[in-house]
């Protein structure tokens, strides 16, 4: 069963528990509602991949690890704390959007070359409008199939890695409104 979109508005509620027992559910897109509260642990196993609502708290580390995610949109919520390393290490991810939240800290580093596959197979990564700090890692230049990236509106410092020139598939990159102090590499 695929439920492509449910409009729950004008309900101002937490996530409906009735969906918890729908084991045939393959995909549920619940964006643009007024659902609030925390992202329930069971949602990760139900095919829920779009959470653009009013969720708050953190992205659960343990539940991301066992999921079969290839597409995840968590943008436009009030999620806080750093992105779990398990989300960045997830190997099947093709689309990740966590923009427009209150995420903070450094952008997580991958544990080793093997787990960088999430980033080398991802086509789109949106980390914009958060509170990320530190530098953009040189590893970004190894993200071979990355086509679109938006890391604007953060607190990133330092310079733009020269390794970005290695990205031959790039179509769009937005690094605006950060705190870069070095020159753009040529």
pLDDT tens digits in sequence order for the chain, 186 residues long: 555 455 555 456 676 777 777 766 666 666 666 777 777 666 666 655 666 777 888 887 765 555 556 677 888 888 888 887 766 655 556 677 888 999 998 776 644 333 344 444 557 888 899 998 888 777 677 777 778 889 999 999 988 888 888 888 788 989 999 998 877 776
Residues 6+ apart with CB under 8 A from 75: 52, 97, 98, 99, 100, 101, 126
Q: What architecture (CATH level 2) is domain 65-186?
A: Alpha-Beta Horseshoe (3.80)
- Kindly list the domain boundaries of the chain, sorted by start residue: 1-57, 65-186
79, 102 Cβ separation under 8 angstroms: yes
């Amino acid at each position: 069963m695929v439920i492509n979109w449910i409009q729950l508005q004008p309900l101002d509620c937490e996530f409906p528990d009735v969906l918890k027992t729908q084991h045939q559910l393959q995909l549920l897109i619940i964006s643009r509602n007024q659902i609030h509260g925390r992202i329930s642990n069971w949602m990760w196993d139900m095919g829920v991949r779009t959470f653009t609502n009013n969720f708050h708290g953190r992205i659960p580390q343990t539940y991301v690890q066992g999921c079969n995610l290839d597409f995840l949109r968590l943008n436009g919520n009030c999620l806080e704390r750093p992105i779990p390393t398990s989300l960045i290490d997830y190997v099947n991810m093709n689309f990740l959007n966590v923009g427009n939240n209150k995420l903070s800290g450094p952008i997580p580093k991958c544990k080793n070359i093997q787990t960088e596959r999430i980033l080398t197979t991802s086509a789109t990564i949106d980390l914009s409008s958060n509170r990320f700090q530190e530098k953009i890692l040189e590893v970004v230049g190894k993200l071979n199939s990355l086509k679109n990236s938006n890391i604007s509106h953060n607190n990133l410092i330092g310079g733009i890695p020269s390794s970005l020139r290695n990205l031959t598939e790039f179509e769009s990159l937005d690094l605006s409104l950060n705190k870069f102090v070095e020159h753009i590499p040529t």
